[in-house]
Amino acid sequence: MRTEYDFSKLKGHKNPYAQRLKKQVTIRLGKDIIEYFKSMGQEMDVPYQKLINLYLRDCAQSHRKLHWS
């Protein structure tokens, strides 16, 4: 194995499976919700869209129901 590699000629490739895994949608969220996830994302060094996706995935997988008071 080489001790050093030349990555300067390497071209980036998009994930060919990304379109199968995620679908782009338009959704309207309150400014306070966006700010909440943005601040949490900055604290955790994670993009806020990913945090929203993870939260919604957790809700879907655990079949969480909404309880309105």
Tell me the per-residue pLDDT of 5-57, one tens digit each, with 9 for 90 and over. 887 877 777 777 777 788 889 999 999 999 999 999 999 999 999 999 999 99
| Domain-located, residue 9 | no
| Domain-located, residue 22 | no
| Domain-located, residue 53 | yes
| Domain-located, residue 32 | yes
64: pLDDT strictly greater than 80: yes
Q: 54 vs 40, 46, 47, 58, CA distance in Å?
A: 13, 11, 11, 6
**Residue 40: its pLDDT value, please?**
97
Is 30 strand, coil or helix?
coil
| Domain-located, residue 52 | yes
63: pLDDT strictly greater than 90: yes
The domain of 45 spans 27-61
Question: How many domains are contained in the chain?
Answer: 1
| Exposure on the CB side of residue 31, measured as CA atoms within 13 A | 0
| Domain-located, residue 50 | yes
Tell me if the pTM is above 0.85.
no
